[in-house]
Amino acid sequence: MLYLYSILDILGQAAEQQNLNSICSFCSRMKRGRLYAAARRNDCNVLAFGQHLDDLAESFMMSIFHNGRLRTMKAHYTVKEDDLRVIRPFVYVREKDLRNFAESQKLPVIPENCPACFEAPKDKVHSLLLLEYIEASVHGQERQRVKQVLAQQEVLFPGLYWSLRSALHPVMAISKTGVESSVFGKNGVLATSLKGKILSQHVFDDEEES
Protein backbone atom coordinates (compact mmCIF):
# COMPACT_ATOMS: atom_id res chain seq x y z
CA MET A 1 0.00 0.00 0.00
CA LEU A 2 1.26 3.46 -0.92
CA TYR A 3 1.55 6.08 1.83
CA LEU A 4 2.30 9.74 1.20
CA TYR A 5 3.34 12.27 3.83
CA SER A 6 3.49 15.98 3.10
CA ILE A 7 4.33 19.00 5.28
CA LEU A 8 2.89 22.40 4.41
CA ASP A 9 3.24 25.55 6.53
CA ILE A 10 -0.17 26.99 5.71
CA LEU A 11 -0.22 29.54 8.54
CA GLY A 12 3.21 30.80 7.56
CA GLN A 13 2.13 31.24 3.96
CA ALA A 14 -1.10 32.89 5.09
CA ALA A 15 0.91 35.48 7.02
CA GLU A 16 2.65 36.47 3.79
CA GLN A 17 -0.58 37.19 1.92
CA GLN A 18 -1.38 40.87 1.34
CA ASN A 19 -5.16 40.59 1.03
CA LEU A 20 -6.24 37.50 2.90
CA ASN A 21 -10.03 37.36 3.13
CA SER A 22 -10.27 34.11 5.07
CA ILE A 23 -7.73 31.85 6.69
CA CYS A 24 -10.27 28.99 6.54
CA SER A 25 -10.79 29.39 2.81
CA PHE A 26 -7.05 29.81 2.22
CA CYS A 27 -6.26 26.68 4.23
CA SER A 28 -8.92 24.71 2.38
CA ARG A 29 -7.57 25.70 -1.04
CA MET A 30 -3.98 24.95 -0.03
CA LYS A 31 -4.80 21.50 1.37
CA ARG A 32 -7.00 20.64 -1.59
CA GLY A 33 -4.31 21.80 -4.03
CA ARG A 34 -1.72 19.62 -2.28
CA LEU A 35 -4.04 16.60 -2.46
CA TYR A 36 -4.74 17.21 -6.16
CA ALA A 37 -1.01 17.55 -6.87
CA ALA A 38 -0.20 14.34 -4.96
CA ALA A 39 -2.86 12.42 -6.88
CA ARG A 40 -1.59 13.65 -10.24
CA ARG A 41 2.03 13.03 -9.33
CA ASN A 42 1.22 9.38 -8.57
CA ASP A 43 -0.96 8.87 -11.67
CA CYS A 44 -4.21 8.69 -9.69
CA ASN A 45 -7.39 9.99 -11.31
CA VAL A 46 -9.78 9.52 -8.36
CA LEU A 47 -9.43 11.16 -4.94
CA ALA A 48 -11.62 10.02 -2.02
CA PHE A 49 -12.64 12.36 0.82
CA GLY A 50 -14.09 11.14 4.10
CA GLN A 51 -17.05 13.44 4.81
CA HIS A 52 -20.15 11.61 6.04
CA LEU A 53 -23.90 12.22 6.13
CA ASP A 54 -23.69 14.28 9.33
CA ASP A 55 -21.13 16.61 7.69
CA LEU A 56 -23.33 17.14 4.64
CA ALA A 57 -26.43 17.78 6.75
CA GLU A 58 -24.59 20.32 8.93
CA SER A 59 -23.17 22.12 5.90
CA PHE A 60 -26.63 22.16 4.29
CA MET A 61 -28.23 23.75 7.35
CA MET A 62 -25.42 26.29 7.76
CA SER A 63 -25.77 27.33 4.14
CA ILE A 64 -29.50 27.84 4.55
CA PHE A 65 -29.11 29.78 7.80
CA HIS A 66 -26.26 32.05 6.74
CA ASN A 67 -26.04 32.06 2.93
CA GLY A 68 -29.64 31.64 1.88
CA ARG A 69 -28.52 28.86 -0.48
CA LEU A 70 -29.58 25.25 -0.98
CA ARG A 71 -26.09 23.82 -1.07
CA THR A 72 -23.89 21.17 0.50
CA MET A 73 -20.75 19.20 -0.35
CA LYS A 74 -20.96 17.12 -3.51
CA ALA A 75 -21.05 13.33 -3.41
CA HIS A 76 -18.68 13.36 -6.38
CA TYR A 77 -17.42 15.88 -8.90
CA THR A 78 -14.87 16.36 -11.64
CA VAL A 79 -12.32 19.15 -11.14
CA LYS A 80 -12.17 22.06 -13.57
CA GLU A 81 -9.12 20.62 -15.34
CA ASP A 82 -11.22 17.50 -16.04
CA ASP A 83 -8.36 15.15 -15.12
CA LEU A 84 -9.36 14.21 -11.57
CA ARG A 85 -12.57 12.94 -10.02
CA VAL A 86 -13.30 13.56 -6.34
CA ILE A 87 -15.62 11.16 -4.51
CA ARG A 88 -17.11 11.05 -1.02
CA PRO A 89 -18.01 7.38 -0.41
CA PHE A 90 -19.51 7.97 3.05
CA VAL A 91 -22.21 10.53 2.18
CA TYR A 92 -24.94 8.03 3.19
CA VAL A 93 -23.12 6.83 6.33
CA ARG A 94 -23.71 8.29 9.80
CA GLU A 95 -20.81 9.68 11.82
CA LYS A 96 -21.60 7.41 14.77
CA ASP A 97 -21.40 4.31 12.56
CA LEU A 98 -17.98 5.33 11.26
CA ARG A 99 -16.82 6.05 14.81
CA ASN A 100 -18.00 2.65 16.02
CA PHE A 101 -16.28 0.92 13.12
CA ALA A 102 -13.01 2.78 13.71
CA GLU A 103 -13.08 1.90 17.40
CA SER A 104 -13.95 -1.75 16.78
CA GLN A 105 -11.11 -2.11 14.27
CA LYS A 106 -8.71 -0.08 16.44
CA LEU A 107 -8.02 2.33 13.58
CA PRO A 108 -5.88 5.39 14.34
CA VAL A 109 -8.00 8.52 14.68
CA ILE A 110 -6.57 12.02 14.28
CA PRO A 111 -8.44 14.46 16.57
CA GLU A 112 -9.47 17.96 15.53
CA ASN A 113 -6.24 19.94 15.55
CA CYS A 114 -6.73 23.15 13.56
CA PRO A 115 -4.23 25.64 15.07
CA ALA A 116 -6.40 28.57 14.01
CA CYS A 117 -9.23 27.17 16.14
CA PHE A 118 -7.28 25.93 19.14
CA GLU A 119 -4.13 28.05 19.43
CA ALA A 120 -3.34 31.73 19.79
CA PRO A 121 -1.34 33.27 16.92
CA LYS A 122 2.40 32.68 17.18
CA ASP A 123 4.95 35.46 16.77
CA LYS A 124 5.78 34.32 13.25
CA VAL A 125 2.17 34.86 12.20
CA HIS A 126 1.30 38.48 11.45
CA SER A 127 -0.97 40.12 13.98
CA LEU A 128 -3.49 40.94 11.24
CA LEU A 129 -4.35 37.24 11.21
CA LEU A 130 -5.92 37.55 14.67
CA LEU A 131 -9.34 38.23 13.13
CA GLU A 132 -8.91 35.12 11.02
CA TYR A 133 -8.29 33.06 14.16
CA ILE A 134 -11.51 34.48 15.56
CA GLU A 135 -13.27 33.57 12.31
CA ALA A 136 -12.01 29.99 12.40
CA SER A 137 -13.09 29.63 16.01
CA VAL A 138 -16.57 31.06 15.31
CA HIS A 139 -16.96 28.82 12.27
CA GLY A 140 -16.07 25.76 14.32
CA GLN A 141 -18.44 26.78 17.10
CA GLU A 142 -21.27 27.34 14.62
CA ARG A 143 -20.83 23.88 13.10
CA GLN A 144 -20.91 22.41 16.62
CA ARG A 145 -24.07 24.39 17.40
CA VAL A 146 -25.79 23.09 14.26
CA LYS A 147 -24.70 19.57 15.20
CA GLN A 148 -26.39 20.01 18.59
CA VAL A 149 -29.57 21.38 17.00
CA LEU A 150 -29.79 18.36 14.71
CA ALA A 151 -29.12 16.00 17.61
CA GLN A 152 -31.98 17.56 19.57
CA GLN A 153 -34.33 17.20 16.61
CA GLU A 154 -33.27 13.60 16.05
CA VAL A 155 -34.49 12.76 19.56
CA LEU A 156 -37.95 13.99 18.54
CA PHE A 157 -37.78 12.63 14.99
CA PRO A 158 -35.62 9.46 14.89
CA GLY A 159 -35.80 9.32 11.09
CA LEU A 160 -34.45 12.88 10.72
CA TYR A 161 -31.18 12.03 8.97
CA TRP A 162 -32.84 9.70 6.48
CA SER A 163 -35.27 12.50 5.60
CA LEU A 164 -32.34 14.89 5.27
CA ARG A 165 -30.57 12.37 3.04
CA SER A 166 -33.51 12.41 0.65
CA ALA A 167 -33.70 16.22 0.73
CA LEU A 168 -29.94 16.52 0.14
CA HIS A 169 -29.80 14.15 -2.82
CA PRO A 170 -30.47 16.71 -5.61
CA VAL A 171 -27.80 19.16 -4.39
CA MET A 172 -25.12 16.66 -3.47
CA ALA A 173 -25.63 14.86 -6.80
CA ILE A 174 -24.32 17.87 -8.77
CA SER A 175 -21.17 16.55 -10.41
CA LYS A 176 -19.63 19.67 -11.94
CA THR A 177 -18.01 22.67 -10.30
CA GLY A 178 -19.48 26.14 -10.67
CA VAL A 179 -23.12 25.10 -11.02
CA GLU A 180 -24.28 26.64 -7.73
CA SER A 181 -22.38 29.86 -8.35
CA SER A 182 -23.96 30.26 -11.78
CA VAL A 183 -27.39 30.06 -10.17
CA PHE A 184 -26.90 31.89 -6.87
CA GLY A 185 -23.80 34.00 -7.51
CA LYS A 186 -20.36 33.40 -6.04
CA ASN A 187 -21.20 34.45 -2.48
CA GLY A 188 -24.93 33.92 -2.32
CA VAL A 189 -26.85 36.18 0.04
CA LEU A 190 -24.36 37.73 2.44
CA ALA A 191 -25.19 39.04 5.88
CA THR A 192 -23.95 42.50 6.88
CA SER A 193 -22.82 41.97 10.46
CA LEU A 194 -19.26 40.90 11.29
CA LYS A 195 -20.38 37.50 12.44
CA GLY A 196 -22.68 37.17 9.44
CA LYS A 197 -19.81 37.90 7.06
CA ILE A 198 -17.60 35.35 8.77
CA LEU A 199 -20.15 32.57 8.49
CA SER A 200 -21.70 33.39 5.13
CA GLN A 201 -18.43 33.70 3.27
CA HIS A 202 -16.78 30.57 4.57
CA VAL A 203 -19.37 27.91 5.32
CA PHE A 204 -18.09 25.89 2.36
CA ASP A 205 -14.34 26.17 2.87
CA ASP A 206 -14.04 22.45 2.31
CA GLU A 207 -15.77 22.54 -1.08
CA GLU A 208 -13.83 22.89 -4.30
CA GLU A 209 -15.58 26.11 -5.35
CA SER A 210 -14.20 28.15 -2.44
Worst-scoring range by mean pLDDT, 19-23, 163-167, 171-175, 191-195? 191-195
Query: Which of helix, strand or coil describes residue 86?
Result: strand
- Other C-beta atoms closer than 10 Å to the C-beta of 111 total 5
Query: Residue 16: what pLDDT?
Result: 79
Query: Residue 138: what pLDDT?
Result: 55
**What proportion of the chain, given as a percentage, has pLDDT over 90?**
36
Query: Residue 21: what pLDDT?
Result: 65
Q: Residue 198's closest CA among 129, 134, 145, 146?
A: 134
Worst-scoring range by mean pLDDT, 4-8, 21-25, 138-142, 172-176? 138-142
- Other C-beta atoms closer than 10 Å to the C-beta of 136 total 23
Comparison of pLDDT for 190 and 26, the residue scoring more: 26
Angle between helices 130-156 and 23-41 (to 10 degrees): 80
Q: In this predicted model, what pLDDT tens digit does every residue of 96-141 receive, in sequence order? A: 999 999 999 999 887 776 766 655 444 444 444 555 554 555 556 7
Q: Residue 77's closest CA among 66, 65, 63, 91?
A: 91
Query: Residue 186: what pLDDT?
Result: 57
Q: At residue 192, does pLDDT exceed 60?
A: no
Q: In this predicted model, what pLDDT tens digit does every residue of 49-100 receive, in sequence order? A: 999 999 999 989 988 888 788 888 999 999 988 899 999 999 999 999 999 9
* Mean pLDDT, the chain, integer: 77
CATH topology of domain 19-115+125-202: Rossmann fold (3.40.50)
Query: Residue 110: what pLDDT?
Result: 78
